[in-house]
Structure 1
Amino acid sequence: MSSVGRPSVSGAVGSDGLGQPMKRSVAMAGLDSSPGSIDDVDENEAREEKKRQPVKRACNECRQQKLRCDVVQDPYMACSRCRRLKLDCKIESNFKRVGKRSRNAEMEREIIELRKQIANVHANAPASMSQQHQSLQQTQLTPKAESSHVSPVAAYHTPSAMSADHMGSQEAVASLLDLRSGFDPNYMRNGNHQFKRIEDVIVLLEKVTELFDLFFVFYHPFLPFLDRDQSPDDYYNTSPLLFWTIISVGARRYQTDTHLLNSLAGPVSRLVWSTLADIPQSYHVVKALCLLCTWPFPTSSTSTDPTFMLCGMMIQVAMQLGLHRPSHTQDFSKFRVELMEEELRDKVRTWAICNIVAQRVATGYGQPPSTLYDWTLSSSDTADQNFKLPENIRSRLEIEKFCDKVTKVLYTNRRDPVGLCSDQERSALISFLSRDYDELEQVMGHNDSITSLYLRASNLHLHLSAFFDDPTEKDYRERLLSLYVATTSFLETAMNLETEVGPVLSYSPYYIYQMMVAGGCTLLKLCKSFFASHIDMEYAKGLFNRTIWAVRGVSVSNNDLPERLAEVLAQMWRLGGTSPERPTNTDVDDTLMLKVRCRMSMSLLFDSVWRWREDVRTRGRNLEAYLKNPTNPDSGADSSATSSVGAMRTMSSTPGVSTADPSLAPAPVLTQNTLGMQAPSNGMGNLPSGFMEPNYEVFDPLNWLLDGLVDLPYSYSPVPGVETQGIA
């Protein structure tokens, strides 16, 4: 019992019984240990093995960015990041990270040194830019002659055109720019001259002032929502994209520098996409998109025209910034917003113009509109003066609302595969819409000439639906007569368009040109149908003739879409072989029915070109040779005497050409001076063909039928950064 509670010491007492502890051997310890202790030995051995291995280090580039690195040292293999970014992957034991503050300080010191070098260059050559500018002023070309004229000195200033020392220093400064230092590479001084720069295009301050004046005098009345009292510097500080867009629109007919428009197309287009990629935070970007969708850069192919896509982005950006709720901007921003009354009025105007432009783009391209006519645009009767639009904007907004009503009533039937309303309903719907148009016309009263032109365009948009009518309907002739009246009214208003500065048709938006082409196609079809017995054929031919010349007058660059479509209209008239006598068969038939029916009111244009192409093929003509040698509208002779269709060309004529066809109107009544532009150059070049696509898809939603079908014998300066020819 005495042994109870005593600790056992048998394992620690020696055999001599003296109680001295004895050390166990490693072997005995191993035998006496539990199985888990063997793992501890293995871990110790592994730890020792790791100590003997070299330490894994990241490469210099990954250490600088504090990123995980997978470099392999033995055998050496660069890390995946350096391989992907093509960096020099190396490991240096003495490498130390460089902080951003010290690196920025070093860049600032280099910028200060480079500024001193630029100052020395200015002191040595103060008059270099002024002499070059004077030499450029001596070169005067017409707006359409820049493509065929080759000048040894470019009309815009590129780095290669300046002093090598001067531009070398400027480019070095631009590459090391720190925005916090207050230096702007796009606004530089040279002696007494100042200029703006975008990529390699430089515009002197004097030209900037001229281009702004041209914009506000000739273009701004068509879209009056910008403040003319602001200086170009104010616009640039507000939004560089808006500044360069105004410059680009003003350069469309800038005779002092006829190359400027094409040289700006690439840089400004890239600026647009880069600005949108950065998620715009300023509603002034929406203003720039409104201008670009109204006056897009010239192109010779609709497959490369981004206007409809930019229009959708314009609406989306505007809504993301809260322009449709201008009095609740705080709900669309994470920052505190203090809304001023002037800014509120500006946002309301911008949202109205945004919807106006979106509606016109949708109508002109034959697509559904992306407009949103909400309370903000319907509050003209409110007591809040900040929501009241200027009269010229309000009246044009009402016109576009009417166009939207026409589109939704006639072309958005969910029960029809192509969205058309039923034949039984169309007659009644047209009657109601015509009454709405009459009321709108009465409310408008005596408006300015530009608003009247937009009003006539909306009426044409309404009555173009007559081509979808059933010929067996009893009021079919009356509907065609209303279409004819709407067409002639619009075309006459367009070709007599004048403001206080004179004729301005050549400065009109792209939408007006599109409606003019639709009007020309309407006259063409009516004059070659049974309906010709109900109209004055001589007047209709003369109006068609003037329409072609008016469309050519809208062209801003050789071989752009207006000029190509004018040539197509001329060839369609000639291929029809209209005789001067009235047709003897006046019975109603289905020749006016459309096969292309998915592009709303603009289906007429697509259908006309499709029929023209099929007509050429069925007659067994060499279509490629025919398009390589189109009729020259400025001469009475064929453009090519060796063409396989040359004999057929002498049988008919093109509008404006006095040849053997007495049925065609004589020389055009509408001259280039009436259009507000200079006479086009007679210089002719040759473009390569090869545009033909044997299996061209008629219903491709991204292309017009004439893409790649017309190859004019005029040179066309390609736009940098923008594809201009061929089918994408």
Structure 2
Amino acid sequence: MEKEIERLRRNVSLAKAQGYVIDDDDDLQSQLQSPIANSAYSHTRNPSLMGSDEAVTSLLTLKRGGSYSMPATHYAYELEQVRLTEQDVVGLFQEFFRSYHPFLPFLNESQSPDLYYQQHALLFWTIIAIASRRYSPKPSILHELSSGPLNRLLWSTVGDVPNSYFVVKALCLLCTWPLPTSTTTADPTHILCGVMMKAATGIGLHRPNHTQDFSRVSVELNKDQLHDRVTTWAVCNIVAQAIGTGYGQPASTLYDWTLAIRPGEDGPFTLSPELEARLRIERFSDKVSKEMYSNASDPRGVAGDEHRAMLMRVYRRDFQELQTSILSQRLSPIVDVHLKAAAVHLRLAGFFDASTTPGYMDDLMGLWRAITGFLDVLFLESNKRILLYATNYIQQMLVAAGFALLKLMRSFFAKTIDFERGRTLFHKTINAIRSTSVLDNDLQWRLAELMVQMWNGARLDNSNNEYHDDDTPMLIDDSLQLKVRCRHSMSLVFDSIWRWREEYQAQGRGTLDSSSTHMDSTLLPQNNLANLGSISTNGGLTPTPNHSLNNGGNSMIGIGYGSDANYDFFDPQHWMLDGLLDFNYTFAQPLEAT
């Protein structure tokens, strides 16, 4: 601290020598003593003093928005080339707390943006980045931040071994609404989740009553501070579980005494009804993942068919009890959406079953009902904002539901359901996934285009999928079983991509043109499409680009299933979507088979 203060004093002297006028030295000296002063900077630019940017930057590291000789309109906050006025920041913070904070209500809405900045620059700029996702007054901010500045601030903070309570809060938000990416391997969310949990336990958030055990000095928290830490720790686990489920990976959660449910108790360890319900839902999802996909005696971790069938019966009852309890509280629609998503997570295990598993058709019907229930709630007109500002987890479950619909509707199971309903629901799902895209050619946009091609390639025909006649025996096979089985309930997503690649994109097999990225226009009236989000169309179902996250002009067409493509074995989605798949509607012809 002494070295930092000395360095800052030298910078002030340098600034004075270069012509800067400081009206209140005493106030500036008090800033020098503040532990809030840090090296992440924002500064006000004085165009009358050209060539002094370094001095200005150093000066305003100490005091942002002080009494300087400056024009009336100035940039109050800067991160590299991203510059925002006070008015910009106020508008963005209002957007964040109005549209995004209800998904994860753990921050203080009455706290000023400047105080968030003083707590930690990463927390401040993370809120700005999330709020800018659909902020029409300044539509370029998200692209400017995600192009490098925020990533550099993030990784420099992580590289300094964060021990700040406010960095943990920032990571919670960044893991919930990651910066947009067009590739799966460029997505650091799973890694950041681990950093978030380790940073949280490193500063003792999981033991808030004994914070001094993790500090070099004695720490005494008042009731409000203790409650804030308990709430933040609960949010860490909610986020970590959602990431484990959405990415098909073991969750790095820690459910112990601190997060135990205490009915009737009122104190600092009591969560708000919304967060308590969310925590209960995620604990249920954790139980499903650990029991069904963490079998120590199986090389892929999957429970055996009989054991899984037994677990399914147990967890069906558990879910019904959970659903009854939560719905009786009449909480927000966001809680209801997450409850339906947990049901999808449970029921997706049906794709792991063999056709001879007891209750096989009943499990598939339960999966169908869980998927349609999740989508029906998500597509309600009253829930339109949930879809528009959806978290990464909701987007991932939406994609999983879309792939599940497609898989069920191209199988023998299609004869047991209302095919037209499934067809319409899939159509809505495609448009919903597109509407969650925040930059053109980001991952959501590309996944939607891939699903359209899979639909067109499957050549689904209503005439071949009419209701099954009970007098005619139905041929039930194992075509719904998964090859990819190591990604928990999300194995379906990765398996679907692998199968599509194998069936429709092998060398020398068939051609595709730009029309294959458009759904057939008979599925849904055009006036119904507008209800799924603020997306514009070019006459078909392909939205018109507004922003770009294009990483090249490569096409996935012509790359064979057995080719030497450079992909990461950890993530088969990378093979399909990184470099090989770039939907710019310019498709190359396939290579000739040799």
Is 1:450 the counterpart of 2:351? The answer is no
Matched, 1:707 2:590: no
Taking the aligned partners of 1:100 and 1:233, their CA distance within structure 2 comes to 22
2:63 to 157, 173, 183: 183
1:597 paired residue number: 485
Report what 2:589 is aligned to.
Answer: none
Tell me the equivalent position of 1:609: 497
Q: Structure 1 stretch 575-584 or stretch 255-264: which is displaced more?
A: 575-584
Query: How far off its partner does 1:281 sit?
Result: 2.7
Q: Give the aligned partner of residue 540 of structure 2.
A: none
SS at match of 2:83: strand
Secondary structure at the aligned position of 1:588 is classed as coil
Residue in structure 2 matched with residue 216 of structure 1 by the alignment = 97
Report the TM-score, using the length of structure 1 for normalisation.
0.70
**Does the alignment pair 1:472 with 2:356?**
yes
Number of residues of Structure 1 aligned to a counterpart in Structure 2: 543
Alignment partner, residue 53 of structure 2: 170
The corresponding residue for 2:564 is: 695
d(CA) in 2 for partners of 1:103 and 1:236?
21
CA positional deviation for 1:284: 1.2
Which residue of structure 2 lines up, in the alignment, with residue 89 of structure 1? Answer: none
What whole-Å deviation, never above 9, does each CA across 1:513-554 have from its counterpart, x for those lacking one? 110111011110111100011000001000000000000000
Unmatched 5+ stretches in structure 2: 24-41, 538-542, 587-594
Partner of 1:547: 429
Larger radius of gyration: 1
Which residue of 374, 382, 386 maps to 2:268?
386
Give the aligned residue type for 1:695: D
In 2, Cα distance between equivalents of 1:546 and 1:345:
41
> Paired residue for 2:298?
416
Matched, 1:671 2:534: no
Partner of 1:568: 450
Q: 1:257 to 1:106 in 2, by over 3 A?
A: closer
Q: Decide whether the 8 Å contact of 2:123 with 2:167 is kept in 1.
A: yes
Q: Which residue of 2 aligns with 1:256?
A: 137
Give the 3 Å change call, closer, same or farther, for CA 554–670 of structure 1 in structure 2: farther
**Amino acid in structure 2 at the alignment position of 1:113:** A
In structure 2, give the amino acid aligned to 1:237.
Q
Structure 1 pair 463–105 and aligned structure 2 pair: CA distance change class (3 A): closer
Alignment of 1:16-415 (within 5 A): 107-114=11-18, 116=20, 165-166=48-49, 168-174=51-57, 176-177=58-59, 182-184=62-64, 190-191=71-72, 193=74, 195-265=76-146, 266-381=148-263, 383=265, 385-415=267-297
Q: Return closer, same or farther for 1:351/1:670 CA change in 2, 3 Å cut-off.
A: farther
Any idea what the Cα deviations from partners look like across 1:378-407, whole Å, max 9, x if unmatched?
A: 053474601000000000000000000000
Maintained 8 Å contact 2:294/2:303: yes
CA distance in 2, matches of 1:473, 1:404: 24
Q: Which has the higher contact order (CA 8 A, sep 6+)?
A: 1
1:207 is matched by which residue type in structure 2? D
Q: Residue 491 of structure 1 corresponds to which residue in structure 2?
A: 375
Q: Deviations over 1:685-718 (max 9, x none)?
A: 9951166582348882245242233211179xxx
Q: What is the deviation of 1:172?
A: 3.2
Q: Distance in 2 between matches of 1:385 and 1:441?
A: 26
CA distance in structure 1 between the aligned counterparts of 2:426 and 2:281, rounded to whole angstroms: 26
Work out the CA distance in 1 between the residues paired with 2:428 and 2:332.
23
Task: Determine if contact 1:286/1:317 at 8 Å carries over to the other structure.
Answer: yes
Which segment drifts farther, 555-564 or 191-200? 191-200
Confirm whether residue 578 of structure 1 aligns to residue 449 of structure 2: no
CA distance in 1 between counterparts of 2:495 and 2:138 reads: 39
Per the alignment, in what secondary structure is the counterpart of residue 197 of structure 1? strand
Identify the residue that residue 590 of structure 2 maps to in structure 1. Answer: none
Q: Deviation at 1:163?
A: 7.8
1:500-515 residue pairs with structure 2 within 5 A?
A: 503-515=385-397
Contact 2:435–2:533, Cα closer than 8 Å, also in 1: yes
Return the alpha-carbon distance in structure 2 between the equivalents of residues 106 and 460 of structure 1: 60
Which residue does the alignment assign to 2:310?
428
| Contact 1:293/1:357, CA 8 A, preserved across alignment | yes
Q: CA deviation at 1:678?
A: 6.2
Do 2:289 and 2:488's aligned partners in 1 also have CA atoms closer than 8 Å?
Answer: yes
CA-CA distance at 1:308 after TM superposition: 0.3
Output the TM-score relative to the length of structure 2. Answer: 0.85
Deviation at 1:673, TM superposition (A): 4.9
Alignment of 1:526-541 (within 5 A): 526-541=408-423
In 1, Cα distance between the equivalents of 2:510 and 2:22? 62
Q: Give, as a single letter, the amino acid of the residue that structure 2 aligns with 1:114.
A: Q
Contact 1:545 1:668 in 2 (8 A): no
Aligned partners of 1:490 and 1:327: how far apart in 2? 39
Alpha-carbon distance change, 582 to 118 in structure 1, aligned in 2, over 3 angstroms:
farther
How much has 1:464 moved relative to structure 2?
Answer: 0.2
Structure 1 residue 561, shift from structure 2 partner: 0.6
Match of 1:587 in 2: 475
Q: Is the 8 A contact 1:521 1:569 kept in 2?
A: yes
Distance in 2 (alpha carbons) for counterparts of 1:532 and 1:696: 35
CA contact 2:432–2:532 (8 Å) conserved in 1: no
Match for residue 319 of structure 2? 437
The alignment partner of 2:76 has SS state of strand
What one-letter code is carried by the residue in structure 2 that aligns with 1:110?
Answer: L
User: Using a 3 Å threshold, how does the CA distance of structure 1 residues 703 and 163 change in structure 2: closer, same or farther?
Assistant: farther
Structure 2 counterpart of 1:240, one-letter code: A
Query: What is residue 343 of structure 2 aligned with on the other side?
Result: 459
Deviations 1:68-108 (A, max 9, x none): xxxxxxxxxxxxxxxxxxxxxxxxxxxxxxx9999876543
Equivalent residue letter for 1:707: L
Root-mean-square deviation (CA), in Å? 3.0
